[in-house]
Structure 1
Amino acid sequence: MTTTITIPKEYGYVVGVAATTFLLSAWHGHRVGPFRKAAAIPYPHAYASAEQLSAAEPSKKNAMYLFNCAQRAHYQFIEHYPQALAGLLVTGIKYPVASASLGAMWIVSRVFYATGYTNKDKEGGKGRYSGGLGMLYYFAEIGWLGMGLKMAADIVLA
């Protein structure tokens, strides 16, 4: 038995959202730079260490903390990016509008997550939740998972 994959016209939405994720990735990377500069953390160090934080004066300690938050938001994005992009592109074959809509929600949520994480008024990185908006990316990923499993079952059981 063979399976034929037909790309629907609406897959263009999926490709457009996927292309936008490349901009989001670049934005994440460039966003960390000013926090690194303010914290005076040289390359190749990924974070301000616990020792650096404990020895720093209060104003520098805050800058180091915010750098760590910006860097963690970036890393967390990188941790989720491969499966999000795969979920978007694969499920978009059968469910292009739903997949692209989840992708748009994922992108917006990632912006709220990153900007909220560096909210200096929120201790412990709690700003990343951004009133729930920073966590919506989970729902997009769960949606892609569900659609992907449905597609797999449809192919196997056909």
Structure 2
Amino acid sequence: MATTLFGLPKEYGYVVIATASTCFLGFWHGARIGIFRKAAGVPYPKAFADSGDLASAETGDQKKRMYLFNCAQRAHANYLENQPSVMIAMLIAGIRFPLWSAGLGAFWMISRVIYATGYTSPSGTKGEGRLYGSGFWFAQLGLFGLAGWTGYKML
């Protein structure tokens, strides 16, 4: 395996690209929330449509838009809970396994898009659509394992 100036594998650039891409995916989540917020009519600075908002909704359609806004917020919050550890795991795992790290990172991001869009699908009323994107857990656990293995092999 060829190395760069810093002793990292030549393919480590893929890891950096995948890691940086998670930041753009976070921006995408935030932009989606703005769209759902506007449709639901939930004013800033409220983070969620609460029970009072839902009770005062004039139509069932308005309630559904508020519900979908809440789902978009939950999908984004879940993303933000997981993204930092995935970024770190990608960067560490990429030291020894750059292509696996970048590939698992790409799979993680694709699964996160499926998770978010499924969660906010108007056809789903209980957020079941997010389960289609739950493959991100496998990619995430794989990255954690590779990062741990990288550390072990450095001893």
Match of 1:13 in 2: 14
2:89 matches 1:90: no
> How many residues in Structure 1 have an aligned counterpart in Structure 2?
149
Q: State how 1:3-152 maps to structure 2 within 5 Å.
A: 6-57=7-58, 58-130=60-132, 134-152=133-151
% of aligned pairs identical? Answer: 47
Question: How far apart in 2 are the matches of 1:99 and 1:71?
Answer: 28
What is the deviation of 1:51? 2.0
What is the deviation of 1:16? 1.3
What is the deviation of 1:12? 0.8
What is the deviation of 1:19? 2.0
Question: How far apart in 2 are the matches of 1:41 and 1:109?
Answer: 28
Q: Does the Cα contact within 8 Å between 2:95 and 2:150 map onto a contact in 1? A: no
Q: Does the Cα contact within 8 Å between 1:6 and 1:93 map onto a contact in 2? A: no
What is the deviation of 1:145? 1.3
C-alpha RMSD of matched pairs (Å): 1.2
Deviations 1:24-52 (A, max 9, x none): 11111101111101111111110000221
Q: Does the Cα contact within 8 Å between 2:116 and 2:130 map onto a contact in 1? A: yes
What is the deviation of 1:54? 2.5
Gapped regions of structure 2 (runs ≥ 5): 1-5
Question: How far apart in 1 are the matches of 2:65 and 2:20?
Answer: 32
TM-score (norm 2): 0.91
Amino acid aligned to 2:126: G
Question: How far apart in 2 are the matches of 1:105 and 1:92?
Answer: 15
Question: How far apart in 1 are the matches of 2:122 and 2:40?
Answer: 14
TM-score (norm 1): 0.90
What is the deviation of 1:146? 1.0
Deviations 1:115-146 (A, max 9, x none): 0000111121111112xxx0111011110111
Q: Does the Cα contact within 8 Å between 2:104 and 2:139 map onto a contact in 1? A: yes
Question: How far apart in 2 are the matches of 1:50 and 1:87?
Answer: 38
Gapped regions of structure 1 (runs ≥ 5): none
Question: How far apart in 1 are the matches of 2:12 and 2:95?
Answer: 7
Task: Give every structure 1 segment of 4 or more consecutive aligned residues whose post-TM-superposition deviation is greater than 4 Å.
Answer: none
What is the deviation of 1:102? 0.2
Question: How far apart in 2 are the matches of 1:32 and 1:21?
Answer: 17
